[in-house]
Chains A and B, each alone.
Chain A
Amino acid sequence: MNRLLIKGGRVIDPASGIDGLFDVYAVGGKIAAVKPYEPSAFSLQPNDWTVIDAAGLVICPGFIDMHTHLREPGYEYKETVQTGAMAAAAGGFTSVACMANTNPVNDNASVTRYILKKAQEEGIVNVFPVGAISSGLKGETLAEIGELKEAGCIAISDDGRPIVSSGLMRLALEYAKPFNLPVISHCEDAWLAIDGVMNEGFISTKLGLKGIPNAKEDIMVARDIALAELTGGRLHIAHISTKGAVQLVRNAKQNGLNVTAEVTPHHFTLTDEAVIGYNTNAKMNPPLRTKKDIDAIKTGLQDGTIDAIATDHAPQNSDEKDVEFDKAANGIVGLETALPLSLRLVAEGVMSFNTLIEKLSTNPAKLLGLDSKGSLKVGADADITIVDLNKEWVVDAKELKSKSRNTPFDGWKMKGRVVKTIVSGKVVYEE
Chain B
Amino acid sequence: MRLKRKDILAIEELTKDEIELILSTAESFKEVSEREIKKVPTLRGRTIINLFYEPSTRTRTSFEIAAKRMSADAINISTSSSSVVKGETLKDTARNLEAMNPDCIVLRHPSSGAPEMLARLVRCSVINAGDGSHEHPSQALLDLLTVKERFGRIAGLKIAIAGDIAHSRVARSNIHGFAKLGAEVSIAGPPTMMPSEIEKMGCKMFYKVEDAIRDAHVIMVLRIQLERQKTGLFPTAREYSKLFALDSKKLEHAAKDVVILHPGPINRGIEISSDVADGKYSLILEQVKNGVAVRMALFYLLMGGSRE
Q: What residues of chain A have their CB less than 8 Å away from a CB belonging to chain B?
A: 200-202, 204-211, 213, 277-278, 319, 322-327
> Could you tell me if A325 and B90 are in contact, using CB atoms closer than 8 angstroms?
no
Contact of B134 with A205 in the complex, beta carbons under 8 Å: no
Is B108 on the interface with A (CB-CB < 8 A)?
Answer: no
Give A386 Cβ to nearest chain B Cβ, in Å: 40
Q: Nearest A residue to B165 by beta-carbon distance? A: A205
CB-contacts of B187-201 with A (<8 A): 195-198, 200-201
Question: Which of A206, A277, A324, A326 is most buried by chain B, counting CB atoms within 10 A of its CB?
Answer: A324
* Minimum distance in angstroms from B300 CB to a CB of chain A: 28
CA distance A200 to B116 in the complex (A): 21
Q: A207-B113, A278-B116 are in contact. Are A326 and B132 (CB under 8 A)?
A: yes
CB distance from B200 to the nearest CB of A (A): 5
Q: Say whether A207 contacts B196, CB under 8 Å.
A: no
List the A side residues contacting B112 at CB < 8 Å: 207-209, 278, 325-326
Q: Contact: A205 with B195, CB < 8 Å?
A: yes
Residue pair A326, B12 in contact (C-beta under 8 Å) = no
In chain B, positions 121-179 with a C-beta closer than 8 Å to chain A are 131-135, 166, 169, 172
Could you tell me the distance in whole angstroms from the C-beta of A317 to the nearest C-beta in chain B?
13
Q: Is the interface of B mostly helix, strand, loop or mixed?
A: mixed
Contact B117 A206 (CB under 8 A): no
Is the pair B132, A201 in contact by a Cβ cutoff of 8 Å? no
Known contacts A277-B116, A278-B112, A278-B113; is A204 also within 8 Å of B91 by CB? no
Which of the listed residues B91, B113, B114, B198 has the most CB atoms from chain A within 10 Å of its own CB? B113
Contacts of B134 on A, CB cut-off 8 Å?
Answer: 207-209
B88-126 vs A, Cβ < 8 Å mask (1 yes, 0 no): 011100000000000000000101111011000000000
Q: How far is the CB of B222 from chain A (nearest CB, A)?
A: 14
Shortest distance between the CB of A279 and any CB in chain B (Å): 9
Compute how far the CA of A374 lies from the CA of B169 in the bound complex, rounded to whole angstroms. Answer: 52
Interface size on B, residues (CB 8 A): 25
The answer on a CB contact under 8 Å between A211 and B196 is yes
Q: Which residue of A lies closest to B166 (CB)?
A: A205
What is the minimal beta-carbon distance from B141 to any residue of chain A, in angstroms? 18
Q: In whole angstroms, how far apart are the Cα atoms of A275 and B175 in the complex? A: 21
The docked-state distance in angstroms from the alpha carbon of A327 to that of B89 is 11
Given contacts A324-B90, A325-B113, 12 further A-B contacts (CB under 8 A): A201-B197, A202-B201, A208-B131, A278-B113, A278-B117, A319-B89, A322-B89, A322-B91, A324-B114, A325-B112, A326-B112, A327-B111
Q: Among B91, B113, B198, point to the contact of A205 (Cβ < 8 A).
A: B198
B169 close to A208 (CB less than 8 A): yes
Question: What are the residues of chain B within 8 A of A207 when measuring CB–CB?
Answer: 112-113, 134
- Bound complex: CA of A325 vs CA of B115, how far in Å? 11
Tell me the bound Cα distance from A325 to B134 in angstroms: 12
Indicate if the CB atoms of A206 and B91 lie closer than 8 Å: no
Residues of A contacting B132 in the complex (Cβ-Cβ under 8 angstroms): 208-209, 326
Query: In whole angstroms, what is the CA distance A151 to B37 when docked?
Result: 81
**Bound Cα distance from A201 to B200, whole angstroms:** 10
Cross-chain contact B196 with A202 (CB below 8 angstroms): yes
A379 nearest CB across to chain B (Å): 54
Bound Cα distance from A205 to B172, whole angstroms: 9
Contact sample, A vs B, 7 pairs, CB 8 Å cutoff: A202-B197, A205-B198, A208-B112, A278-B113, A323-B91, A326-B112, A327-B111
CA distance A78 to B116 in the complex (A): 26
Q: Which chain B positions have C-beta within 8 A of A324?
A: 90, 109, 111, 113-114, 117
Docked CA distance A208–B134 (Å): 4
Complex interface bits, B3-22 against A, C-beta within 8 A gives 1, otherwise 0: 00000000010000000000
Residues of B42-93 contacting chain A, CB below 8 A: 89-91
Q: Does A200 contact B196, Cβ atoms closer than 8 Å?
A: yes
Chain A residue contacts of B200, Cβ below 8 A: 202, 205
Contact A206–B169 (Cβ < 8 Å): no
- B122 to nearest A CB, angstroms? 14
Known: A208-B132, A208-B134, A208-B169. A323 touches B113 (CB 8 A): no
Q: Say how far A75's CB is from chain B's closest CB, in angstroms.
A: 19
A206, B12: Cβ atoms closer than 8 Å: yes
Contact check, A205 vs B111: say whether CB atoms are below 8 A apart: no
A213 to chain B: which residues have CB within 8 Å?
196
Q: Which residues of B contact A205 (CB under 8 A)?
A: 166, 195-198, 200-201
| Bound-complex Cα distance A206 to B197 (A) | 9
CB distance from A259 to the nearest CB of B (A): 30
Q: Verify A206–B113 contact, CB threshold 8 A.
A: no
- Determine how close the nearest CB of chain A comes to the CB of B115; give it in whole angstroms: 10
Residues of chain B lying within 8 A (CB to CB) of residue A277: 116
Chain B residue nearest to A322 in the complex (CB): B91
Quick one: which of A201, A204, A325 contacts B111, CB cutoff 8 A? Answer: A325
Whether A201 lies near B90 (C-beta < 8 A) is no
| Bound: A52/B12 CA distance, A | 57
A-side contacts of B117, CB under 8 Å = 278, 324-325
CA distance A327 to B116 in the complex (A): 15
Interface centre among A204, A208, A322, by most chain B C-beta atoms within 10 angstroms, is: A208
Could you say which of A202, A278, A319, A322 has the most chain B C-beta atoms within 10 Å of its C-beta? A278
B114 contacts across to A, CB distance below 8 A? 324
Contacts of A200 in B (CB 8 A): 196
In the complex, which residues of chain A have a beta carbon less than 8 angstroms from the beta carbon of B133?
208-210
Q: Which residues of B contact A202 (CB under 8 A)?
A: 196-197, 200-201
Residue in chain B with minimal CB distance to A277:
B116
Q: Which residue of A lies closest to B111 (CB)?
A: A324
Roughly how many angstroms separate A209 CA and B116 CA in the complex, as a whole number? 14
Assembly CA distance A180 to B31 (angstroms):
80
Smallest CB separation, B89 vs chain A (Å): 6
State in angstroms the CA–CA spacing of A319 and B92 once bound together: 11
Kindly list the 6 A-B residue pairs having the minimum CB-CB distance in the complex, ordered from nearest: A208-B134, A278-B113, A324-B111, A208-B133, A208-B112, A202-B197
Q: A414 → chain B, closest Cβ, in Å? A: 26
Which A-chain residue is minimally distant from B167 (CB atoms)? A208
Please, which residues of chain B bring their CB within 8 A of the CB of A209?
112-113, 132-134
Q: Which residues of A contact B131 (CB under 8 A)?
A: 208
Partner of A206, one of B89, B166, B201: B201
Interchain CA distance A211-B194 in the complex, whole Å: 12
Contacts of A327 in B (CB 8 A): 111
Residues of B within 8 A of A211 (CB): 195-196
User: How near does chain A come to B5, taking the closest CB pair, in angstroms?
Assistant: 16
Which of B109, B112, B166 is most buried by chain A, counting CB atoms within 10 A of its CB?
B112
Closest to A324 in B: B111
